Amino acid sequence: MQAAITYFATSRRLIGVSSLRTYTENRLARALASFLIIALGTSALATELVGIRYSDSPHFTRVVFDLTAPPKFKSDLLSEPARFFVDIRDAKLSQNFKTPFVESIQFRGVRFGERNGALRVVLDLTEVKAPKIQTLGPNGPHGNRLVIDFPHEVQESCTAEHDSNIVIVVDAGHGGEDPGAIAVNRAMEKNITLSISKKVQTRINRQPGFRVVMTRDRDYEVPLHNRYRVAQNTKARLFVSIHADAFHNPRPRGASAYVLSQGKAQSELAKWLVQNENRADWVGGVSAWVDSSCYADREKLKFLNVKGRQEALAEAVSVGKKMLHSIDSVAEIHPKSFDSRRGEYQVTDAGFVVLSATAIPSILVETGFLSNPQEARLLSTNAHQNIIANAISDTILRHFCENPPRYTDLAEGKVACDLAPSTMVYKVRNGDSLSVIASRQQVSVSAIRAANDLTSDRIYPGQTLTIPITN
């Protein structure tokens, strides 16, 4: 899904210096807000403006300048008429530059000129509103960028709506300018996570008594605090963030689950993940989403106290283990996700400074490794995305059907759970024995024998077995 940010191809339209005169002669005193940023450019070569894109998200309109080098620039907001200009030093329009066709409530058009040797880009606004401006270095499909965000007026209320549904927040990792991991086949994590998340949403919403809220449903960037706010404002019972891994060598593969808690990252993998995902704005943690000031009245504080922090963490670990179990039955999990000595699934503490301060159980699922060619290919297919989405949604539904939270339609018997039959198909792998499979699937050897009419315990790789689900 790349629809939200679009290049518009219309005729090149350069406006000369004369038509800009009225704007540039405006006195600075008339500006309602002004600021000056000089980014540290390292290249002495002329910077080229290759393109301008824009996207509307619920929180802001984002305008992105694609450039060939880190820009040295200054910018200012002016009024009458409302406009924002950026002067990029030692810069010019690229030969192939196409003026974007603009259709946005936030800005009306874009014009170009020259000002003291700098390339001036003027954004005509619908109202005088100071944007946030930042530079981004090359990442994935993108080169150097200048990113300008015009905030929208969003009425955010601290009051959580009463919802008799079990609200699950599904968080599709990354988005917009942040592509996440780039697969060996060039697939982007942000698109894979969105696709799987939407499938999870569809499946869970089919069951009465549940409601999925997405942190994003298109290809745009969602700041961390907004992801939390979604969970906070909807009184979510579970926050599940969906990602796909990448590692610096192509071998690792398989899914893993992380709880976001305080503590040290345990493995090299987890450390790398922390670095990787922190870049994706996870740093700071989910803790921020429960804002105690939003819960001034007793009723809401009671809600927070019912699920204490430890309880939330324990529930997250439990859901994470069940999720690994489900995924293990239909796809591959990372070897670290199963502790063969203790015979149980293992949820990794990612070492994010996060969950200990939140009352909402939160997990992060890495659905596989985009750095592994085979898994990258699989995760790019609709069929495999369906398999993963089924495992995730089925786990969540089962968990809450078995442990319905109080004050919900499900707990009060107003709706009933209608889950898929409790068996799954398991493909025998090299090194499997009936007892290994039984311990992984948490069923008895005799239950597997009975379900498959086995007369002996001999099995072979590639054989499919029906596994009864007991939890």
Nearer to Zn ion, 122 or 169 (CB): 169
- Closest approach, Cβ 276 to Zn ion, in A, equals 7
Nearer to Zn ion, 124 or 217 (CB): 217
Nearer to Zn ion, 62 or 243 (CB): 243
Q: Which two tokens stand for residue 427?
A: 């493909």
Which span sits near Zn ion by CB under 5 A: 11-19, 170-178, 259-267, 457-465? Answer: 170-178
Which span sits near Zn ion by CB under 5 A: 154-162, 237-245, 339-347, 429-437? Answer: 237-245
User: In whole angstroms, what is the distance from residue 7 CA to residue 51 CA?
Assistant: 8
Amino acid at 397: L
Q: Measured on CA atoms in the order 240, 200, 171, 139, is the torsion positive or negative?
A: positive
Nearer to Zn ion, 66 or 245 (CB): 245
Residue whose structure tokens are 């979510």: 236
- Closest approach, Cβ 173 to Zn ion, in A, equals 4
Which span sits near Zn ion by CB under 5 A: 38-46, 126-134, 241-249, 372-380? Answer: 241-249
Q: Shortest Cβ contact with Zn ion: which residue?
A: 243
Among 237, 243, 321, 384, which residue sits at the site for Zn ion (rule: CB under 5 A)? 243
- Closest approach, Cβ 9 to Zn ion, in A, equals 32
Nearer to Zn ion, 87 or 219 (CB): 219
- Closest approach, Cβ 389 to Zn ion, in A, equals 17
176 near Zn ion (CB under 5 A): no
In angstroms, how far is CA 122 from the centroid of its own chain?
Answer: 32
User: In whole angstroms, what is the distance from residue 371 CA to residue 319 CA?
Assistant: 26
User: In whole angstroms, what is the distance from residue 389 CA to residue 288 CA?
Assistant: 28
Counting residues that bind Zn ion (by CB under 5 A) gives: 3
Nearer to Zn ion, 355 or 467 (CB): 355
Amino acid at 210: F
- Closest approach, Cβ 163 to Zn ion, in A, equals 28
Nearer to Zn ion, 246 or 387 (CB): 246
Positions in 260-299 near Zn ion (CB under 5 A): none
- Closest approach, Cβ 284 to Zn ion, in A, equals 16
Instruction: Provide CB contacts within 8 A for 275, sequence distance 6+.
Output: none
Nearer to Zn ion, 174 or 398 (CB): 174
- Closest approach, Cβ 282 to Zn ion, in A, equals 8
Residue whose structure tokens are 């982007």: 188
- Closest approach, Cβ 268 to Zn ion, in A, equals 17
Asked if residues 212 and 205 have their Cβ atoms less than 8 Å apart, the reply is yes
Asked if residues 236 and 360 have their Cβ atoms less than 8 Å apart, the reply is yes
- Closest approach, Cβ 142 to Zn ion, in A, equals 16
The b/e string for 239-248 (b: 16+ C-beta within 10 A; e otherwise) is bbbbbbbbbe
Which span sits near Zn ion by CB under 5 A: 242-250, 260-268, 340-348, 372-380? Answer: 242-250
Instruction: Provide CB contacts within 8 A for 192, sequence distance 6+.
Output: 183, 244, 367, 370, 379, 380, 385
Which span sits near Zn ion by CB under 5 A: 88-96, 122-130, 175-183, 286-294? Answer: 175-183
- Closest approach, Cβ 190 to Zn ion, in A, equals 8
179 near Zn ion (CB under 5 A): no
Nearer to Zn ion, 71 or 175 (CB): 175
Nearer to Zn ion, 245 or 349 (CB): 245
* Of 362, 392, 338, residue with least CA distance to 288: 362
Provide the phi-psi class of 351: left if phi over 0, else alpha when psi is between -120 and 50, else beta.
Answer: left
* Of 159, 144, 102, residue with least CA distance to 126: 102
Amino acid at 240: V
Nearer to Zn ion, 324 or 467 (CB): 324
173 near Zn ion (CB under 5 A): yes
> Which residues, in sequence order, are bridge partners of residue 125?
107
User: In whole angstroms, what is the distance from residue 51 CA to residue 97 CA?
Assistant: 6
- Closest approach, Cβ 189 to Zn ion, in A, equals 5
Which span sits near Zn ion by CB under 5 A: 174-182, 213-221, 343-351, 449-457? Answer: 174-182
- Closest approach, Cβ 148 to Zn ion, in A, equals 25
Which span sits near Zn ion by CB under 5 A: 167-175, 201-209, 303-311, 377-385? Answer: 167-175
Among 100, 113, 180, 368, which residue sits at the site for Zn ion (rule: CB under 5 A)? 180
Q: What DSSP string describes 392-416?
A: HHHHHHHHHHHSPPTTSTTTTTSS-
> Which residues, in sequence order, are bridge partners of residue 118?
115
* Of 309, 326, 287, 300, residue with least CA distance to 442: 326
Beta strands in 96-250 (DSSP E): 107-115, 118-125, 132-136, 144-151, 166-172, 210-214, 238-245
Q: Which residues of the chain form contacts with Zn ion (CB under 5 A)?
A: 173, 180, 243
